[in-house]
Chains A and B, each alone.
Chain A
Amino acid sequence: MSNVLDSKIPEGPLKDKWTNYKSHVDLVNPANKRSIDVIIVGTGLAGGSAAASLAEMGYNVKAFCFQDSPRRAHSIAAQGGINAAKNYQNDGDSVFRLFYDTIKGGDYRAREANVHRLAEVSANIIDQCVAQGVPFARDYGGLLDNRSFGGTQVQRTFYAKGQTGQQLLLGAYSAMNRQIGLGKIKMYNRHEMLELVVVNGKARGIIARNLVTGELERHSGHAVVLATGGYGNVFFLSTNAMGSNASAAWRAHKKGAFFANPCYTQIHPTCIPRSGDYQSKLTLMSESLRNDGRIWVPKNMEDAIAIREGRLKPTDLKEEDRDYYLERRYPAFGNLVPRDVASRAAKERCDAGYGVNKTGEAVYLDFDAAIMRYGQEKANLLHETNASEARIRELGEAVVESKYGNLFQMYEKIVDDNPYKTPMMIYPAVHYTMGGLWVDYNLMTTVEGCFSAGEANFSDHGANRLGASALMQGLADGYFVLPYTIGGYLAADIRTGKISTDLPEFVEAENDVRRRLEHFINNKGTKSVDHFHKALGKVMWDNVGMARNEAGLKEAIVEIRRIREEFHRDVFVPGTINEFNPELEKATRVEDFLELGELFAIDALHRTESCGGHFREESQTEDGEAMRDDVNFTYAAAWQWTGNPQEPVLHKEHLEFKEIELKQRSYK
């Protein structure tokens, strides 16, 4: 079966593949580019950068987003930073090291050739962004500053305070604006793609709904790029924006694009815990906090209960009554273990009954030791040899404020508690999805002419993504990879001419969409869309979340089917099709999540090993650490839609590691 999957990796040594590829790929001459239309769905870092680049090259670009402006794509929310192998800090970084860290961080489940290319182009991204006027953080000499991130040993992360995603996206948005002004990009805001149109086996267009008027529109193109982000909202609660959804990718999947590794999800350890049933989303607290915060829960059950019932305060607990469980379990890395390890450890303690808020799902992130340490250093610096404890604390708080002030303020706004005085409460939350549309080296899916970029594809992060690497991948795909690979594909399409939207495939696709929408409006059930989305999210979180086992996954599959059946029978969507109707938008997204959720669980069930973000309880060492099974699972699982969500067909892309030796990760 696997012969269907040709990853099209160029021949030659790893480090020369991309250079050779670029030298030999077919090109489209400028006159021909003018008669070629490219549709780009999504204007986040991946789609925005692709749209700008392809328009500059001369293609006619049509770009789509469901927000009211391309500047509002979910990429805007990224906080921490973007990696690049610039080695400005002269600390031994290199393309190889970034490549190596990404493969290892991904727990040896990513494709070597793609990851190497990513590392190669990473440095160019920073040059490009600076040229566009992206205001990265600088040092007093006027040069770019770096921070370290995600437990790597070098400082390769570029940042713009806590708003790196915003500044990078506004950079891509500005490049788009220039092309929109020149008429090379036609921008469709408040438009949602609801179907992919395939003609003679090739992606030739989309059906989009104008979200203001409700009208269905047909758009044709010689290639379609899906840069529509991740599917973390299948869990209902996640750090993703409310509108983030899987529909574009899922519709492509149902038209023949294989969906790879859906079960690889990143659960971020430091998010603000849930406060009640009305909760609509979860807020991330940047990973950088773990550089200075110590994570703990009470050592004794009575204390944990007393804290939950409000009879005891965390600051009342003596040092010896606290369990700094990460430092205890992982003395070498302590609080800086990778995200997946930190998340599971928090869950383990809370499941054992040591959680510290009303829901029992929270642990402490304590800055007291850091405050006192920084305070003492500062006092020494100021020659205040007899500084009182209060004075040291005051000095220390000022240092912590200068490093994390905006995060502490954000926490206080949400939780109404002062994190300088009482430890923060945190809990893991769904954050990023490594799985996505399967793509070959050209970023093309298994539907010819349908490409996928950014978080929407499965390409570069294996089973776990390192911090600050998603922004890098999105911009690499859009600025530097797609401009070459799409050209290679379109070179064969220069004689096709304009594609008519009157083709029967367009008519049929539009009719299908209309039928789906009418079904929802005419259903007149009794429960809201959110009701079903929350029900799905709960099953996903309980059974397909941080730790998974066979029985739980089987139960989840049955349960998801039940919810899906009930959804179609009993959902109530008010209003009409031909108007601005947010409930209808949600309905089509949840419809797709309900199918994707099942595939997600099926994938998790089939992969009986633990790797990266995927932890199978059956595959762990005696002391509870994840255990990979390289003999049986060194492959990417690419699923084919068969018309029945219960019977997807598995295709395997076997992963070969020529430059790197496979090792079990250890952070002890």
Chain B
Amino acid sequence: MKLTLKIWRQKDRNDKGKIETYPIDNVSEHMSFLEMMDVLNEQLISEGKEPVAFDHDCREGICGMCSMFINGEAHGPDRGVTTCQLHMRKFNDGDTIYVEPFRAKGFPVIKDLVVDRSAFDRIQHAGGFVSVNTSGNTQDANAIPIPKNDADKAFDAATCIGCGACVATCKNASAMLFVSAKVSQFALLPQGKVEAQQRVLNMVEQMDKEGFGNCTNTGACEVECPKGISLENIARMNREFLKAAVTAE
């Protein structure tokens, strides 16, 4: 395949940045999108130019490191996959492809397609844990049976990879899907219930501080989430938040 790539280049956080055009040839349909980017970078290096910086690590859809806004969609046109799992067979010979970073006030650009998502970590520091020490002197793992349905739902929420596609997709740059996934995981498990109220208050407070927008229920986040994190979690978080806010008064 022969493609035209229109890629966002930005030297550092303070640079204004702009779109540059790169033609690329000999793209195999079996390549992943990031392998196509590797080929482009090899080409740029051989011409003595600076390669395009992008985040990636596992390249199998689990670490949440890769991002990229491809033709106006977080993680590109395919559903239920991250950019590293996207394959070039989803594109056609002759296509022009726009590649931009995840954009949000809470995610400043570091360079080219690399953004700073440490706001997500700070929200987790505020409450994304169960306060139990790692002494090994906890009770036996089977002491509290957990209904399979709750365990499965907690697991589904816990599969969030923290990629930030939900934020990048949302017109308000809201982080509700991400935060609600963690709140839900713990709210569904007996081990997490003890601190559930304080947790949701603290995490939401930090989320607001980081400059993420409000949720207006457009549901775009769920559509673009590579892990299928459900809007149900946002509803659950809202309930938890109300409960906590009422009792906190």
Contacts and interface: CB of A to CB of B under 8 A. Distances in A.
B211 interface: no
A161 B152 CA distance: 10
A7 B152 CA distance: 44
A175 B191 CA distance: 14
Contact of B128 (A160, A167, A177, A528): A177
Contacts of A479: 134, 136
B7 interface: no
Nearest to A126: B141
A131 B132 contact: yes
Nearest to A182: B125
Interface string B185-196: 110010110000
B51 interface: yes
Contact of A574 (B28, B50, B114): B50
A131 B139 contact: yes
A453 B125 CA distance: 25
Interface string A501-532: 00000000000000000000000000010100
A128 B138 CA distance: 6
Contacts of A175: 129, 134
Given A52-B134, A71-B162, A124-B136, A132 B191 contact: yes
A574 B42 contact: no
Given A77-B62, A130-B141, A243-B57, A181 B126 contact: yes
B139 A49 contact: no
Contacts of B42: 528, 530
Interface in B112-132: 114, 116-118, 120-121, 124-126, 128-132
B39 interface: yes
Interface in B1-41: 11-12, 28, 30-32, 34-36, 38-39
B139 A67 contact: no
A242 B124 CA distance: 26
B77 to A, nearest CB: 13
Contacts of B125: 177-178, 180-181
B117 A144 contact: no
Nearest to B30: A275
A76 interface: yes
A143 B142 contact: yes
Interface string B144-187: 01111001101100110110000000000000000000000110
Contact of A71 (B39, B64, B155, B191): B64
Interface string B48-71: 111101011111101111000000
A281 B59 contact: yes
Given A170-B158, A580-B12, A580-B53, A135 B87 contact: no
B114 to A, nearest CB: 7
Interface residues of B, number: 75
Contacts of A281: 59-60
Contacts of B159: 163, 166
A67 B120 CA distance: 14
B214 to A, nearest CB: 25
Contacts of B154: 133, 135
A133 B186 contact: yes
Contacts of B223: none
Contacts of B12: 579-580
Contacts of B62: 76-77, 163, 165-166
B245 interface: no
Interface in A130-178: 130-133, 135-144, 160-161, 163, 165-167, 170, 173-175, 177-178
B151 A137 contact: yes
B134 A68 contact: no
Contact of A77 (B34, B39, B58, B120): B58
B124 A67 contact: no
A549 B89 CA distance: 41
A76 B63 contact: yes
A367 to B, nearest CB: 21
B185 to A, nearest CB: 7
A243 B11 CA distance: 22
Contacts of B39: 278
A69 interface: yes
Contacts of A130: 138, 141, 191
B242 interface: no
Of B49, B51, B56, B141, chain A has the most CB atoms within 10 Å of the CB of: B141
Contacts of B48: 572, 574
A131 B191 contact: yes
A655 to B, nearest CB: 28
Interface string A102-145: 00000000000000000001001011111111011111111110
Contact of B85 (A68, A280, A413): A413
Contacts of A53: 134
Interface string B82-99: 000101010000000000
Nearest to B12: A579
B124 A177 contact: yes
B31 A174 contact: no
A463 B185 CA distance: 39
A572 B46 CA distance: 9
Nearest to B155: A135
Contacts of B186: 133
A17 interface: no
B129 A132 contact: yes
Contact of B121 (A74, A121, A189, A528): A189
A333 interface: no
B81 interface: yes
Contacts of A128: 134, 136, 138
Contact of A276 (B28, B87, B124): B28
A401 B161 CA distance: 24
Contact of B155 (A49, A68, A161, A414): A161
A560 B111 CA distance: 34
A56 interface: yes
Contacts of A279: 35
Nearest to A529: B45
A242 B46 CA distance: 21
B46 A528 contact: yes
A275 B81 CA distance: 20
B249 interface: no
Interface in A44-79: 49, 52-53, 56, 67-72, 74, 76-77
B38 to A, nearest CB: 6
B120 A69 contact: yes
B35 A242 contact: no
A579 B158 CA distance: 35
Contact of B35 (A131, A136, A280): A280
A480 B124 contact: no
Interface of B: 11-12, 28, 30-32, 34-36, 38-39, 42, 45-46, 48-51, 53, 55-60, 62-65, 81, 85, 87, 89, 110-111, 114, 116-118, 120-121, 124-126, 128-136, 138-142, 145-148, 151-152, 154-155, 158-159, 161-162, 185-186, 189, 191-192
10 contacts: A121-B136, A128-B134, A133-B189, A142-B147, A160-B158, A167-B158, A178-B125, A189-B121, A574-B49, A580-B12
**A-B pairs, 7 with minimum CB distance:** A142-B145, A174-B129, A131-B138, A135-B155, A124-B136, A181-B125, A130-B141
